[in-house]
Amino acid sequence: MTDFFNDISRLTYAPDSTDLAFRHYNPDEVIMGKRMEEHLRFAVAYWHSFAWPGGDPFGAETFERPWFGNTMDLAKLKADVAFEMFDLLNVPYFCWHDADIRPEGDSFSESLNNFKEIVDYLGEKMETSGTKLLWGTANLFSHRRFMAGAATNPDPEIFAWSAATVKNCMDATHKLGGENYVLWGGREGYETLLNTDLKRERLQAGRFLQMAVEYKHQIGFKGSILVEPKPQEPSKHQYDFDVATVYGFLKEFGLEGEVQMNIEQGHAILAGHSFEHELALASSLGIFGSIDMNRNDYQSGWDTDQFPNNVPEVALAYYEVLKAGGFTTGGTNFDAKLRRQSLDPIDLIASHAGAMDVCARGFKAAVAMLEDGTLEAMRAERYAGWDSAHGKALLDSDLASIAAQVEAGDTPPQPRSGRQEILENIVNRFV
């Protein structure tokens, strides 16, 4: 045991407590035939909780953690602290990038040896812990070598380095029993068209993703391959802009049956959408997989990655998750970070505990809305005409035949209310 979380006890469900505890998240509460823990499948993001130093575009790091440094001993200390936090929060999962968990070496082989050693160390800790790996991924955006992209880089040697990195990260995810593998193209975009060949870069990105899928089957990885959309920041325009854009990309390269979406609230907002829109669209296209749960500051134009605190927003998100059938291999990953002024160890625990409570409250509200059935009944009633013989026949007809029917009847159709305010009032009963 380390002494980083000294004097902080393991959190329990204590709804009336005024101390640090869960007031809404009860992992053992059975809802719709499953334990709440099994529905929500919470995960801690290794990068924000243990690797992020507290910097922003206008200031250097504010956090001083005892494991910061570039040695294997410090990487193992970081893992020790991480698993202590997982235990304090009783979270079932965690997630990592390769660069979060291992020191950077002077060569690819040195970095790889460090990576393999720390993966073995994580495996040993997982054997004595209740925490599993929700997903692994490769950091192909932080190092200066990736400044012009990874898969989409104009230098084929960077493409090759990136492919080798993903191969080893997939191996590690498979070895640790990870349930998904995520690809996020943080630099897969452009800053100016003056030096960009869009067609070439898209072809490179498509082939890179095909290789990842091929390798999944080669090694027998049974988890899901997930792509995480984001529209911008740091690139002016990224090729994985939103769910709709990624789906078109998957169709172009024959991957729509192989790849699902890891959808982040903050990225949805940057794309000009709501979180629930992206979730509903992914579900309707059959590519919903997992979520990164955070929030953006609506007064800021960049990705602030804050912990969720808005129960009505969370409820609408989980409503779409439930309608999609719930999570299978996916889960709720807190891709969220402390504010730069939140310096103390207890802030790490309190931020996650509060977020887990917000998610639990939102999830229970979503379940209540779904079980009540009013929203779905009103939706079905609105489209009922399409289930009639006339409605079904229209879609099998042609313009000339439809025009003839309309001209013969000559009765103007009347619009019907969408009842938006009534629907919003119904939602407000539950949240």
Name the residues annotated as catalytic.
Answer: 97, 100
Instruction: Look at strands 132-137 and 93-97 and give their pairing.
Output: parallel
3-state helix, strand, coil in the chain (%, to 5): 50, 10, 40
Residue 175 makes CB contacts below 8 A (sequence gap 6+) with 119, 123
Strand locations in 130-258, DSSP E?
Answer: 132-137, 180-183, 189-190, 224-227, 237-238
Sign of CA dihedral 190, 290, 370, 367: negative
Cis peptide before 234 (omega within 30 of 0): yes
Comparing CA positions, the residue from 47, 78, 24 lying closest to residue 353 is: 24
**8 A C-beta contact, residue 261 and residue 289:** yes
Q: Can you spell out the DSSP letters for 280-304?
A: HHHHHHT-EEEEE--B--TT-SS--
- Ramachandran region, residue 69 (left: φ > 0; alpha: ψ -120 to 50; beta: rest): left
Determine the Cα–Cα distance for residues 427 and 431; give it in Å rounded to an integer.
7
